[in-house]
Structures are given as C-alpha cells and as structure tokens.
Structure 1
Amino acid sequence: MNEAAGERMVFRLANAPDLPRLVEMLADDALGATRERYETPLPHGYHDAFETITRDPNNELLVAESDGLVVGMLQLTYLPSLTYQGRWRAMVEGVRVAREARSGGVGRQLLEHALERARRRDCNMVQLTTDKARPDALKFYEALGFVASHEGMKLSLP
C-alpha cells in the first residue's frame, strides 16, 4: 500500500468510530488473540480506555489510513522526566499494521510520523518494548534506528 499504487496514506488521531478496527488489529496475531476480545459489541473496557487516552493531552492514538481504511495504529505517550535535565521522552505502544497491509511500508511510515510528532514535542528520546516472541518486530525497529540498549522487565499484576 503506497502512493505509487494509487493509494494515499494519511496519518491522524484516532476517533471513536475507529475503535472496532483498532481492536480488530490488536487481536489479529498469535499474541493478541490470547489477550484481546474482538467481538460485537466490544467489551466496555476498550471504550473506557479509548476515552481516557483520547482525553489525555500526553497520549495519542495515531492511525494510518489508506483510501479511507485504517491500516495501521500505535499509541504514543509523552512522559516527563527528571533525567536528561528534565527533558521529555515518548513511548510507543500497541503498534499494529492490518494483515492486508503488512510489508508495504505502512509501519515504517507510521513510526516515522510518530517520531516527528515526538520531535515537535521536544522529546529527547523515543522508547518502546517488543515481545521476544516477535523477532521480526525487533528487526523492524532496529532498521528504524532503535537500539536494544536496556534490559526491559515487566510484572503482571493480578
């Protein structure tokens, strides 16, 4: 999916009608299928989270749209920090590209758009995590210049 094929990529903030498509993309892989619930109607938790995220000026749900269809998404969160002399950083989460649009440059363009937004907010760093079960995602992020400079850890809470 690219302009050469006659399709125009648009990047914008997500809006409420996008929510089912976002959940569909989150659920459409081996890991997402075990933790997401793409069903009609969507569980209320998705609506609540969407409202909270979109009202928060330090959170953005970005979508990539091609010919009127949402084909990519990510969440960009801006974090204040005392480190680096009080500079802000951005965190990328929930990167997904629709199955039919994968390997077409959508993810790269969407991440580049997010990086530009972080620059405009004067962030000195963009960070993300990727599941070790997704080696292709790790290669993708490294190709964009991300470096596995730290050991990330998570603790699931009951």
Structure 2
Amino acid sequence: MGDLEIRPAVPDDVPAIVAMLADDPLGAQRESPDDLAPYLTALDRVSRDPNQHLVVAVREDRVVGTLQLTIIAGLSRKGMTRSIIEGVRVHADERGSGLGTRFIEWAVEQSRREGCQLVQLTSDATRTDAHRFYERLGFTASHVGFKLPL
C-alpha cells in the first residue's frame, strides 16, 4: 500500500467523500450528493478546528477513502483525552484491499501522537460486517450508544 497517501481533505475532495458517504443503503437515505453546499460549509468548519482531522486516502490521484478523527479533552477518567473515529468509508473498488485497516491504524497512531488514552467509535447496529472488522482490530463492543435527533 505504499502508493497510498493519507492527507487532510480539501474542498475538491468533497464530491468523492459525499459519494462514498452515500454509497450504501443507510447513507443513501441520509446524504444529498446533489447539493454539496452544506458539506463544503462543514469542511470549512472542521478544517479550522485543530481537534478535528477529516482525512482522505488517495491512490493514483483518486480519493478512495475518508474518515474523521476528533480529539476530545475531558475530566472523566482522571482528565483523560480520547478520540472518536467517525464517518469511515472506503470506496467500493478498494474494499478488501487492506485500506480500512491502514486507515484505522493511522487514526490510532494519530490519537497516540495527540496524547489520547482511548479511541472510540460508533457503528450503526445494522453494520455487522463493520462490527466484525473493528473487533478484529482490537475494539470491543463495550457500550450501548444513544442518539437524539435535534
């Protein structure tokens, strides 16, 4: 995977990122690839926050993956800093190539560099393949998550 670059996302990456976010039954219901304005606004906001890392994986000048890593300082667990991995997507053509593993390893290493003692993520209850993937990488399903739409 030496020809793979992981770098911060830029506005020109947004169409490819949104296409990957929308490329499954859940994402197809939540994303709007025909209107990129809210995504560009969000990227600008994320890019200005030093605790946010929205990155893409690029191979041969083509965006083939994305994820967001958020660093959170807190008081619980003796003032522990943690990170949250969100929005992990790998282009359909790249699934099974090892890119997902490389991406998560990058996020864990970046978390260590930023002083985190815990990395956490959530995955939709219906994504059983993703659950097996994260468990293979050492994550445990230790908590139950809740969401409240606003």
- Sort the TM-score into its range (normalised by shorter chain): over 0.9
CA contact (8 A) 2:14 2:36 kept: no
Instruction: Provide the residue aligned with 1:116 in structure 2.
Output: 109
Amino acid at match of 1:124: Q
CA contact (8 A) 2:22 2:31 kept: yes
Cα drift, residue 143 of structure 1: 0.6
1:4-38 residue CA offsets vs partner (Å, 9 max, x unmatched)? xxxx1111111111111110110011100001011
Q: Which of these residues, 120, 123, 126, is aligned with residue 127 of structure 1?
A: 120
Matches within 5 A, 1:47-126: 47-126=40-119
- C-alpha RMSD of the superposition: 1.0
Structure-2 separation of matches of 1:115 and 1:63:
15
Cα drift, residue 155 of structure 1: 1.3
Q: Does 1:149 align with 2:146?
A: no
Structure-2 separation of matches of 1:132 and 1:95:
15
CA contact (8 A) 2:15 2:36 kept: no
Amino acid at match of 2:140: V
Q: With structure 1 as the length reference, what TM-score do the two structures score?
A: 0.92
Q: With structure 2 as the length reference, what TM-score do the two structures score?
A: 0.96
Cα drift, residue 84 of structure 1: 2.1
Structure 1 runs not aligned, ≥5 long = none
Structure-2 separation of matches of 1:121 and 1:105:
24
Structure 2 runs not aligned, ≥5 long = none
- Identity percentage of aligned residues: 46
Structure-2 separation of matches of 1:150 and 1:37:
30
Amino acid at match of 1:102: R
Cα drift, residue 99 of structure 1: 0.7
Structure-1 separation of matches of 2:102 and 2:87:
15
Q: Does 1:11 align with 2:6?
A: yes
Structure-2 separation of matches of 1:129 and 1:151:
9
**What is the number of residues matched between the two proteins?**
150
